[in-house]
Structure 1
Amino acid sequence: MVEYCSSFTKLIPLSFVLGFYVTIVVERWWNQFRAVPWPDKAAMLIQAHIHGNDERSRIIRRTLVRYLILIQALTFMAVSTKVRKRFPNEDYLVEAGLMTKEEKEVYDEVPALYGRWWVPATWFTSLIIKSRKEGRIKDDILVQQILDEFHEYRGGCGLVFAYDWISVPLVYTQTVTIATYTYFLSTLMGNQYIES
């Protein structure tokens, strides 16, 4: 039995299996971190391209940045337990000032099989187009710059959501677990001292 187990340990490519699994997990973790959207660049473009010192211009800029943060909060509510603790439901977003009561009513009317984190994205786009029509954004190129950055931001939120939705296949974890336990038990049995 000892000799059989000792020879069996040479058949299990544990370093390959563990290396493959660790590579997948670490790469996935790093890609998740890189997918987290940062609103800074979009907020700076909004500040730079939406002109006007009047109250309406200030409210538009503020609302657009609020929509950015709202999209991120809704995304993280779906994927993060810490954010879900802070905002158990959308009423807490209203209370925190990230969503108005009127917006929540519109938001609640949207049917959602897989989440509604994208709804404020439509509000954002509509407000940008409205700002251009009102002449607060001077050129279509500036609109395009803001929307391009916004689409990248929204794409990051979508990627974070997708990473949470689709995890590492369970069969990988099970294979590594079984291979490790089998190798450990075979090594334990195969390295027993026996008198010849």
Structure 2
Amino acid sequence: MGAWYFAQNDVPVRAAIRPAVTFSLNYKKIFTAESIMMTCDGGSTIGGGPNYIWYKDNFPVHNGKSYTIQRARTSHRGSYRCRTSTGELSDPARLDVSDGIVILQTPLYVYEGDDINLRCHHRPRYSGGLSRFIKDKSVIRAWTDSAVFQIGNVDRTTAGTYRCDKVISGQKIYYDEVSVSVEGKSRISYIRIIPQHLYTDGVTLSPDRPSVIIA
């Protein structure tokens, strides 16, 4: 299950692992009236586990490992972060809430090597028809009845401005446009060493380093 580690001179230490925010839908844009659950993954595993505080645009909004928004409103747009009882704060996760008819949904995180889906999503009360996808003003997939565009083995060239056009109710064309950025090959988890006991799973710590990075 893990081991206790001690720093030099037998000073006990513990690890505070930086948490990460994930969304239940894995898309960072939703419609108003839709629901989404955010989860604070990671954090210290010492004792009974950490407590969590959620922030929206730097203001506290919720306590708990998960935060669910029922029937989202445009006022729920913003930057969400979670903090553990050890003081570790996640990177911001941006949620966008649209009151439009069509949205282009992209993953919350995009990393090199990922396989991702871009989804041209329409409100359920409307009848959706053909969709097409455009990147940086060039058509990358012509009109088709599939609302999902798949990109395999993402690299830096995947980054850009994407747009989807969708036929609604057999007549009008609606569209949405988003910017996609690509991060390094994997998400990095940081461990901060804190005096006291350290509980970890197979991580070797060096007493000469103030922190350990797990790739």
TM-score by length of 1: 0.29
Larger Rg: 1
Bigger RCO of structures 1 and 2 (CA < 8 A, at least 6 apart): 1
TM-score by length of 2: 0.27
